[in-house]
Structures are given as C-alpha cells and as structure tokens.
Amino acid sequence: MARSRNMMISATFLAMLALSAALVAGFFGTLHPAFDSFAHFRVHLAVLMALCALPLLATSFRLQAATALVFAVAAYATTSFPLPRLWPVQAAYEAKPSDQAVYPGDQAVYRLLQMNLRFDNPTPKKVLSLIGRTNPDVITLEEVSEMWTTELGYITSAYPYRILCPYPNGVFGVALLSRRPFAAGTKPFCERRGAMAIATVDFGGIGFDVAAIHLSWPWPREQPWQIGELAEPLASLGETAIMAGDCNAAPWSAAVR
C-alpha cells in the first residue's frame, strides 16, 4: 500500500516538473517558435500544474509543490493582462443602427466588424444579416473562400470599397470591406499569399491604414515563416493603423506581441 502511494506521489511530482518545464518554455517564445507554441497553452499548463501541486503539499515535496503553485498562479495571471485590449472587439455586436455616436466634443465614432467567416459556413445569410444589423463602417474577414466571394457580392452596394485577397488553397483568404472610401492616391494591397489585406480608409478626411490578417497555425506549422513574410508590409503601416484578424495565437504569445 505504501509502495503504491509512493509511486503515485512520484508520478505526480514528475508530472508537475514536466508541466513546469513546458510552462517556463512558453515565456521564451522570442528565442524559438517551438517555445512559443507552449505559450498558447499557458492557461491549461498552469491549471494542470496547480492541480498536481495541491496534493503534493501534504508530502515531502511540499516545498517544491508550494513553489510550483506560486509559479502557476503567477503564470496564469500573465494571461489576464492582454484581455482588456480584446474587449472592444465586441462593440460591433452591440452597436446601434446609427453610424455615429456623440461624445464630448461631438466626435464621430466609426465601427469595425471583425469576423472569421468559416470557409464552409452553412448559414452565410446569418452573417450578412449581422452585417446589416450592426452596420459597421469597415469589415475585416478571414477564411474568405470562393463561396464567400459570391456571398459578399450581395452587399457590394453597401460596401463598394473592398479588397479580397485569395489564399493559394482557395479557402483561407482575407477581405476588407468599407462603406468609407479609400484615401485618395492610395491603393489597397494584398500580401502575395493572401494572408493580409491593407487599405487606407478615409474617415472624415483623415486616412487610417486598416489591415485584415489571417495567420496559419503555430510551429511546427507555417506561422513563424508567415510572420517573417509579413514583417515588411506590417512595418509599412502608419502609427494610427488598425489591424484586425485571426492570428491563431494567444494574445500573450510572442507571435502576437
């Protein structure tokens, strides 16, 4: 009985060590994309490590368990810092029909709707209905397949300013649609493999760069290579640029930061 208990404790301790190693690796994503792949699972790893550490507090490994528990809590806390910056994305779903809102100073407020369409979405009309209800000024879209190219054609009159960038496989393209005209003297731009669309949109006489981006899955897939390919067009964006899309990465990962 004692031997079985000791084996269980040892196995739990080894599992805690393995989870801590993976958790630590995720903080070194800038050194190699393989480490960054662990960062995407930081929440999962932190929770699992804490669950392993708790029962070990009643064993001879209590010091190591306490240290692991503190580290798990600290690691989990780092994932909450980027989240407030993501909340405004929901504004497009809560918007009122008017295309302007009045705030102190009577400043016009423009809205952007960001969506991953799902290339084989069985209910495209629901998406078009959402666009009609929220009436955003600019829309950034991912997984724009051939089917979606047809569907988006139905709202050309509402969003005449647009750029659609097909992906080589015909499935994971991006698109940028706007009710506001593109700035005079500028041309919308497609990254050569269709992973990003850039346009300078005229908002009341002021041009702002807007980018729609769709990254592939993390290492060992092609995301690190893709980020390298996008470095130059990303660097060309103005200081007031707005980038929206699906990065297939956690907001605290090196890929996003």
For residues 121 and 10, membership in a common domain is answered with: no
Last residue of a domain, one of 41, 58, 78: 78
3-class secondary-structure state, position 232: helix
Would you say residue 101 has pLDDT above 60?
no
In a domain, 254, yes or no: no
Do 93 and 66 lie in one domain? The reply is no
**Which domain CATH number covers 199?**
3.60.10.10
- pLDDT > 90? residue 25: yes
pLDDT on residue 58: 94
- d(C-alpha 68, C-alpha 24), whole Å: 11
Q: What is the pLDDT of residue 3?
A: 82
On whether both 43 and 95 belong to a single domain, the answer is no
Assess whether pLDDT exceeds 70 at residue 29: yes
pLDDT one-digit tens code per residue, 127-153: 999 999 999 999 999 999 999 999 999
Q: Is 252 contained in some domain?
A: no
Give the contacts of 207 (CB within 8 A, at least 6 positions apart).
183, 186, 200, 201
End of a domain among 59, 78, 97? 78
Which domain covers residue 173, as residue numbers? 83-246
Q: Rounded CA gap, 205 and 219, in Å?
A: 42
157 and 109 inside one domain: yes
Same domain, 130 and 218: yes
Say if residue 62 is in the same domain as residue 92: no
Residues 101 and 137 grouped into a single domain: yes
Work out how many domains the chain is built from and give that number. 2
At CA 256, angle to CA 241 and CA 82, rounded to 5? 90
pTM of the full predicted structure? 0.79
Domain closes at, from 78, 104, 134: 78
Q: Is the dihedral of CA 141, 181, 231, 191 positive or negative?
A: positive
178 domain-assigned: yes
Residue 241 reports pLDDT greater than 80: yes
Quick one: tokens of 169?
């496989």
pLDDT range class, residue 81, cuts 50, 70, 90: low
Alpha carbon 30 to chain centroid, angstroms: 18
* Tally of CA atoms within 13 A in the half-sphere of 184 that contains its CB: 3
Residues 23 and 127 in one domain: no
168-198: pLDDT as tens digits: 887 889 999 999 999 999 999 999 888 999 9
- List 182's β-bridge partners, or say none: 201
Q: Are residues 235 and 119 in the same domain?
A: yes
* Predicted confidence (pLDDT) at residue 18 exceeds the cutoff of 80: yes
Residues of the chain above pLDDT 70, percent:
89
Q: Over the stretch 185-235, which tens digit does the pLDDT of each residue have?
A: 999 999 988 899 999 999 999 999 999 999 999 999 989 998 998 989 888
| Mean pLDDT confidence for 17-25 | 97
Q: What pLDDT shows up at residue 169? A: 82
pLDDT digits (tens, 9 = 90+) for 56-70: 999 999 999 999 999
